[in-house]
Structure 1
Amino acid sequence: MKTTTTTSARRAWRRLEPIHGMIYFVPEASRRYTELGLTGMSGYFTSRSAPFGRASADLVIATFYNFCPALVRRSLRDAWAAVTPEQILDARYQAAAEALNRAAIHELPELNQTLTLARRAAESACEHPQGRPLFAAHATLPWPDDPLLQLWHAQTLLREFRGDGHVATLLAEGVTGLEALILHAATGTVPTPFLKISRAWPEEEWVAAEDGLRDRDLVAGDTLTTEGKALRQHIEDRTDILAMPAYEALGEEGCERLAELARPFGRRVVDAGLLNIS
């Protein structure tokens, strides 16, 4: 029986995550979405929710979790009149291929080995869709023919699998989407202005949520308290545990190998500027 630890599984996910995460920042994506008549955040919300079909604002608010509802409603108000789910999904895959080719990911000799392990983990995740709506929707999409896009699709599945588990953990701990953003910002790993702009919560709601977290002794000033750090660690640890059904199929050795193979992939994404925040 294969065994693995959350540490090795998390490392495998984290090192390969840039392969998926770049789609939210690259100009190829915004250009493709604009060509379809989408503006602002409409391309993001439609492209990520398109596996549901013509996803309602309420469904996106529920599954994306930490975006201001007003932003979601405004972004989706006319979006599905401009595009079909099939059109925006095609645009997303084309943008992913263009960006990853720009970073010369296809030239890495480890592509096939990395794809084999990542796809095995993703297919294992597909055996456990219960309670993971955003992941389950993505799991219905066909695998692309291009190995490079297969790798992107595999990591997309693994990211949404983990993400649904993360949302479940936040709910269980009574942490709202806005509070999760503030706790994240308090770690210092993501700039607060970026989270405020991209999630679009009104300043008064952000401040009120901060005050609530201070009352609960989770933040002091702009940083986490001892209790806040403990809660954040618990949430991350629990998220790691809930992601294990995907990575247990690889075992410890497979996870360590995937983490090793993934390193140059993440480095190329970063070096090519695919994660730059414009």
Structure 2
Amino acid sequence: MSSAATPVPLGTVGVWAGTWALTADRAAEIERLGYGAIWVGGSPEAGLELVETLLAATSTISVATGIVNIWSSDARVVADSYHRLEAAYPGRFLLGVGAGHREATSEYVKPYQALVDYLDVLDEHKVPSDRRVLAALGPRVLRLAADRAAGAHPYLVTPEYTRSARETVGAAPLLATEHKATLGTDPEQTRAAARPAVRNPYLSLSNYLANLRRIGFSDADLSDGGSDALIDALVAQGSAEQVAARLTEHLTEGADHVAVHVVPSADDPLPQLTELAPALGLTARG
């Protein structure tokens, strides 16, 4: 599956990693393994210097932000950064923006209107709508993503959510979901590795809790670090083949692209990404 919503080529499978886990050398290896895009998480700064580093270290892979926080990154600075990157690396950068979390900033007032205002500034500074995506979970922001951007980049979701989100945004917009993964043969060990990546901070953030309830999880699932059922739903676990099968469920349910987020996030993601790539049908270069 592919999307014509944006001219930035993402492929069907990419990699999501925090700013702390991404280096020039790791980006080059992710590209060599055959992944189609790198999503830079952890609220990269408005100057997008890390994005520039990753683009400079690679030749064809696309780089997206997942996401630039509208409260901490001035839209005019972000627009200037977009144009700088587009001039140097045409067609390879996709700008992801979002309102972040109520608990993370004292300025979190009327986030929907703030997001609309931010998009207005990007429009004024000639950032094309098909070169940006919105962090979106609930139906209102999903519809905004369909109307004012190439589409949506939902985080911490399940394939069942993806099916519902596709119904909300319609057939044309980009739907690029994140999904966590950890390889291992012992379910107890993989859950132990996966649970902190869900619990901290997401089970204390109101927007994620609300969305997980919309998906169908109960308060019991969301308490005490998350039930086994919650962890298993949000973090693909098992062999490379089992993890790949879970990730590709997003594509079956309507996503154009799924971004693999290897956990624990503090670890080097390359060993697991290397093992996963053939199971995901990716072809390594060289």
TM-score, length of structure 1 as denominator length:
0.30
Bigger strand fraction: 2
Higher percent of residues as helix: 1
* Higher CA-based Rg: 1
Bigger RCO (CA 8 Å, 6+ sep): 1
